[in-house]
Amino acid sequence: MVFLGDGEFDGTELQAKLTDFDWKYACRTSSNTILYDGEEFSFQDLFLQPGMCLGLPDVLFTRKLFGPVLAIAWWRKGYQEPIYLVTNFVLTEEACHWYQKRFKIETFFSDQKSRGFHLHKSHLSNPARLAKLMLAACLAYLWIVYLGVWSIQQKLHMVIHRTDRCDLSLFQLGLRVIDHLLDHNLPLPVSFTDFPHAYPQFVW
């Protein structure tokens, strides 16, 4: 199992728990994070240029001296600034390979929050209740994506969006389908298993 996290997931307690689970992880951290390899330093002390990727093996993380871990300073070509990672992967290349996959889920996060279900406004703090809410939201997400695919099959996307091109995600199309069908008192297609196969490029 591989855990990928943004900057709020670089805490040493979480890293320790993931290590106990025997999970691999790669989490983003800040440029001023304190590291220790016999002397205290931070990523800001490194001379990093665009296109460079520096792996710092067997360092201790923060003043809690957690580790040893692999710290990575990575400035990808074409990006305005570097990112900094902490990981229990042995190889820098492997950690970077896995961390790149995190960006593919950003759209899902925004659909669950600000552009969709607004789960960040639930104010739930109980893990069990939050897990139930997430389960329901994920099922709803699959259904709405299904509606987005279905709308393309039915050419309905040209009615609810535009005729020359489509620049909405399947999720946003699905939301518009729901509004359209409800506004016109039309039945809502409900399915979790019969995904349209005429457009396999739209399925995960």
Of residues 43 and 107, which shows the higher confidence score? Answer: 43
What value does the mean pLDDT of the chain take?
84
Q: Over 50: is that where the pLDDT of 204 sits?
A: no
Q: How far apart are the first and last CA of the chain?
A: 20
How do residues 89-108 score in pLDDT, each as one tens digit?
Answer: 999 999 999 998 877 676 77
Q: How far is CA 116 from CA 19, 109, 193, in A?
A: 34, 9, 22
pLDDT at 59: 96
Spatial distance between the Cα atoms of 194 and 204, rounded to a whole number of angstroms = 14
Which helix (H) or strand (E) segment holds residue 61: the answer is: strand 53-61
In terms of average pLDDT, the best of 45-59, 106-120, 129-143 is 45-59
b/e for 64-88, b at 16 or more Cβ within 10 A?
eebbebbbbbbbeeeeeebbbbbbb
